[in-house]
């Protein structure tokens, strides 16, 4: 079969779908990936894919340009002539789904998160739900990454056909191997990994880092991730007097997780937080927003602590609870997280479900 994968980043496909792509190729299928192009496309080609660059503005809201995406996808699909299309992330799911439905090409959708347009309600939510309904109506299968997203779209009559819940994108337990807990040298490192944008909770975390650092001199906060250009000036102002260390995008995230005592994610909404799956797989406790897409990745008080999103005091409370734990309890929380990943979040669970769905035709 010829299988077309469409998404908004080649790096996302490489990092989260590598195992699926390799399995598909091993089984004799031809895989074509179409996303905006960065350096990751070369590695995708090395896996054995064909790569087609396709420009998509992931955050654009111009309705004319958005609807033009349907035409772009139709042109792409008509030229590739795939047997089936796999779509990931919001715009490929909606506009790619519409194109597939129009051309009567089977497609499988993965709801990686609903995004702020649906989370915030109002007129934008209603319009987005209409678009989702048209994008998903002819899907062969809709895969959800958390039950709340699934229930929300079912409640709003968006889901018409078959659907199934996956453990997010899963985590590669070999690439993100268990690491011995850092030495008990008197310091504590809290690590944030993600885009430096408001809805990832970076503004609250900056406030928290100042308060915690004033009270506990042995605690440090590290942030890894890039910042969107339109947000840079605002972030720079917030950095003034902030003890948090910012390291930008990093290719080797694993080494930072290995050196951390816990990973913190104060995000507002998620499909399933891959950074938390990776952190737990490495044996690091999780401190995260008590929301769908985060709470599934840890067991409260066993492998992590939850806190309310957008709530500085709740976040401080969770961090102080963690600080107060004996060193060996912190380490055992990390071990419990690894066991949870092995039992429920192995990426090959996701791969097997995809292969079953793709090859059932």
- Nearest by Cα to 70 from 30, 98, 34, 38: 98
Q: What pLDDT is stored for residue 204 in this prediction?
A: 96
Sequence-separated (6 or more) residues with CB below 8 Å from residue 261: 181, 182, 188, 189, 190, 284, 285, 330
Considering only CA atoms, which of 146, 129, 139 is closest in space to residue 160? 139
Mean pLDDT for the stretch of residues 4-28: 96
User: For 186-230, what is each residue's pLDDT tens digit?
Assistant: 899 999 999 999 999 999 999 999 999 999 989 999 999 988 778
Cα–Cα dist 39/45, whole Å: 11
Of residues 113 and 332, the one with the higher pLDDT is 332
Would residue 179 count as lying in a domain? no
Domain assignment of residue 353, yes or no: yes
- Residues 17 and 162 both lie in one domain: yes
Residues 10 and 119 in one domain: yes
Same domain, 203 and 80: no
Residue 361: pLDDT band with limits 50, 70, 90: low
> How far from 166 is each of 143, 171, 248, 357, CA to CA, in Å?
6, 12, 31, 13
pLDDT tens column, 134-148: 999 999 999 999 999
Residues 30 and 160 in one domain: yes
Say whether pLDDT at 82 is over 90. yes
Q: What is the pLDDT of residue 58?
A: 63
Report the pLDDT value the prediction gives residue 227, as an integer from 0 to 100: 86
- 304 bridge partner residues: 286, 300
Burial class (CB in 10 A: 0-12, 13-18, 19+), 83: middle
Q: Is the pLDDT of residue 85 over 70?
A: yes
pLDDT for residue 59 is more than 70: no
Residue 45 located in a structural domain: yes
Q: In percent, how much of the chain has pLDDT > 90? A: 80
Do residue 16 and residue 161 come from a single domain?
yes
pLDDT at 276 over 90: yes
Domain identity same for 28 and 161: yes
Beta-carbon contacts of 328 under 8 Å, excluding residues fewer than 6 positions away, are: none
296 is a domain residue: yes
In a domain, 229, yes or no: yes
* 71/130 Cα distance (integer angstroms): 18
Query: Residues 220, 222, 223, CA angle at the centre, nearest 5°?
Result: 155
pLDDT tens column, 249-270:
998 899 999 999 999 999 998 9
Q: Are residues 105 and 164 in the same domain?
A: yes
Q: Are residues 61 and 87 in the same domain?
A: yes
- 324 in the same domain as 247: yes
Question: Which CATH number goes with the domain that contains 300?
Answer: 3.40.50.2000
Specify the number of domains making up the chain: 2
Task: Say whether both 205 and 153 belong to one domain.
Answer: no
Question: Same structural domain for residues 57 and 156?
Answer: yes
Strand 304-307 relative to strand 245-246: parallel, antiparallel, unpaired? unpaired
177 in any annotated domain: no
Taking only Cα atoms into account, the Rg of the chain, rounded to an integer number of angstroms, comes to 21
Q: Identify which has the larger pLDDT, 160 or 313.
A: 313
Give the pLDDT mean for 152-161. 92
Residue 180 lies in a domain: no
CB 201 within 8 A of CB 294: no
**In which domain, by residue range, is 264 found?**
188-344
Question: CB-hemisphere CA count at 13 Å for 171?
Answer: 29
Residue 61 pLDDT exceeds 80: no
Structure token pair of residue 197: 């944008």
Same domain (yes/no): 221, 263: yes
The answer to whether residue 241 is domain-embedded is yes
**Per residue, what are the HEC states of the chain?**
CEEEEECCCHHHHHHHHHHHHHHHHHCCCEEEEEECCCCHHHHHHHHCCEEEECCCCCCCCCHHHHHHHHHHHHHHHHHHCCCEEEEECHHHHHHHHHHHHHHCCCEEEEECCCCHHHHCCHHHHHHHHHHHHHHHCCCCEEEECCHHHHHHHHHCCCCCCCEEECCCCCECCCCCCCCCCCCCCCCEEEEEECCCCHHHCHHHHHHHHHHHHHHCCCEEEEEECCCCHHHHHHHHHHHCCCCCEECCCCCCHHHHHHHCCEEEECCCCCCCCHHHHHHHHCCCCEEEECCCCCHHHCCECCCEEEECCCCHHHHHHHHHHHHHCCHHHHHHHHHHHHHHHHHHCEHHHHHHHHHHHHCCC
């Amino acid at each position: 079969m010829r299988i077309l994968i469409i998404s908004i980043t080649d790096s996302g496909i490489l990092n989260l779908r590598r195992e699926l792509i390799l399995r598909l190729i091993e089984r004799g299928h031809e895989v074509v990936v179409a996303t905006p192009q960065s350096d990751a496309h070369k590695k995708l080609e090395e896996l054995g894919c064909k790569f087609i660059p396709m420009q998509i503005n992931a955050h654009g809201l111009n309705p004319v340009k958005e609807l033009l995406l349907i035409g772009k996808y139709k042109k792409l699909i008509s030229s590739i002539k795939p047997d089936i299309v796999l779509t990931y992330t919001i715009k490929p799911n909606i506009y790619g789904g519409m194109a597939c439905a129009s051309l009567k090409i089977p497609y499988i959708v993965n709801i990686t998160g609903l995004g702020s347009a649906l989370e915030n309600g109002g007129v934008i939510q209603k319009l987005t739900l209409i678009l989702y309904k048209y994008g998903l109506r002819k899907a062969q299968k809709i895969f959800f990454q958390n039950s709340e997203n699934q229930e929300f779209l079912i409640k709003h009559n968006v889901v018409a056909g078959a659907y199934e819940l996956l453990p997010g994108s899963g985590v590669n337990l070999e690439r993100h191997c268990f690491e011995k807990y850092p030495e008990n040298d008197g310091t504590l490192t809290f690590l944030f990994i993600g885009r430096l944008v408001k809805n990832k909770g970076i503004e609250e975390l900056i406030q928290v880092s100042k308060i915690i650092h004033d009270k506990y001199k042995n605690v440090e906060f590290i942030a890894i991730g890039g910042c969107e250009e339109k947000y840079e000036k605002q972030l720079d102002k917030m950095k003034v007097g902030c003890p948090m260390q910012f390291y930008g995008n990093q290719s080797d995230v694993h080494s930072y997780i290995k050196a951390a005592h816990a990973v913190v994610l104060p995000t507002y909404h998620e499909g399933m937080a891959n950074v938390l799956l990776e952190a737990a797989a490495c044996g690091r406790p999780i401190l995260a927003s008590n929301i769908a897409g985060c709470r599934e990745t840890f067991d409260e008080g066993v492998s992590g602590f939850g806190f309310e999103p957008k709530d500085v005091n709740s976040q401080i409370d969770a961090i102080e609870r963690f600080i107060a734990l004996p060193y060996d309890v912190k380490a055992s929380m990390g071990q419990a997280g690894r066991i949870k990943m092995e039992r429920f979040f192995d990426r090959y669970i996701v791969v097997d479900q995809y292969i079953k769905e793709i090859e059932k035709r």
